[in-house]
Amino acid sequence: MKKFALLSPEFDAKFVTVADYARDPYNYEFDNFFHPLTLAPLRPKFASWYVDSIEGFVLKRGYGQHNAGWSDDLVHEMTRMVILATKEMKIFLPNRGMQILRFENVTAEQRLKAGTTQSYGLDIFCNLSPESDLYSEMHGTMAIEISTHDTIGAVKLREIIKHNLAVIEYKASRALLDKYSDEYLSGEKLHCLRADLKELVSGVLDVSVWNLPESIPDQPTATVQQVRRSPPDELPSASL
């Protein structure tokens, strides 16, 4: 269950939060809410028969689990949303300078199988455009992980690398984490956060990179074994 949603199936659409809806429930169409990462249709979930008793927004029947793809971290979720909308990322590599990664298809719901019973969700899975920098080195695909309070876990990183994916980890701005909290959300507050994130993401991002060929030194030194890239053979193309 999520505390905010979009009012149309577009990443730049207006937001509505639980607080906004509870304050004026008759100002919104009941079926006009969308997942902020996949744009799947949502519905309000109520604690009682009263329309102002909304608890949050959940996926409509037939569109997956209610909490699929969601975390409790506002800045984490909004950063994913902004990257999905821009479909481009500028990063800096020590021996290559600025690299512009252009995404052909992106998704926030890709799952990686780990054994027979476990799986890991990628923050963002990308198919690179052929004109993108590092397209050949990454064999056209990559994963993006967004870190807020903690770095990507070693076990998850190992599993991603097993699927022959390059991994880029972006650590969210501490200033934004301090500025925005989940204590009281409003649509206006989310619009401000999205604007701040768009400005950040449009610049050259300071990232950590794993699982690129030896000709491109990774940074910083990974806590898992470095491997030479080979074309991915088990992960399907992403789609919106």
The dihedral sign for the CA sequence 29, 85, 177, 180: negative
The more confident residue out of 173 and 202 is: 202
Scan for tokens 């770095």, then name that residue.
151
- Listed by start position, the domains of the chain span 4-59, 74-210
Report the pLDDT value the prediction gives residue 74, as an integer from 0 to 100: 80
Give the pLDDT band (50/70/90) at residue 237: very low
- Please name the residue ranges forming H helices in 108-221: 154-162, 174-179, 187-201
Query: In the Cβ-directed half-sphere of 152, how many Cα atoms lie within 13 Å?
Result: 29
Are residues 51 and 25 in contact, defined by beta-carbon separation less than 8 angstroms?
A: yes
- Residue 134, pLDDT > 60, answer yes
Query: For the segment 69-104, what is each residue's pLDDT rounded down to a tens digit?
Result: 455 578 888 899 899 888 889 999 887 889 999 999
Max distance between CA atoms of the chain, in angstroms, equals 62
Give CA separation, 38 vs 43, 68, 84, 157, 217, in Å: 14, 10, 9, 23, 34
Residue type, 239: S
Model's pTM, two decimal places?
0.79
Instruction: Compute φ and ψ for 239, nearest 5 degrees.
Output: -155, 150
What is the model's pLDDT at position 183? 57
Q: Are 43 and 61 spatial neighbours (Cβ–Cβ below 8 Å)?
A: no
Residues 52-64: what's their mean pLDDT?
79
Is the pLDDT at 193 greater than 60, yes or no? yes
> To the nearest whole number, what is the mean pLDDT of the chain?
79
- Binning pLDDT at 50, 70 and 90, where does residue 149 land? confident
CA distance 169 to 154: 12
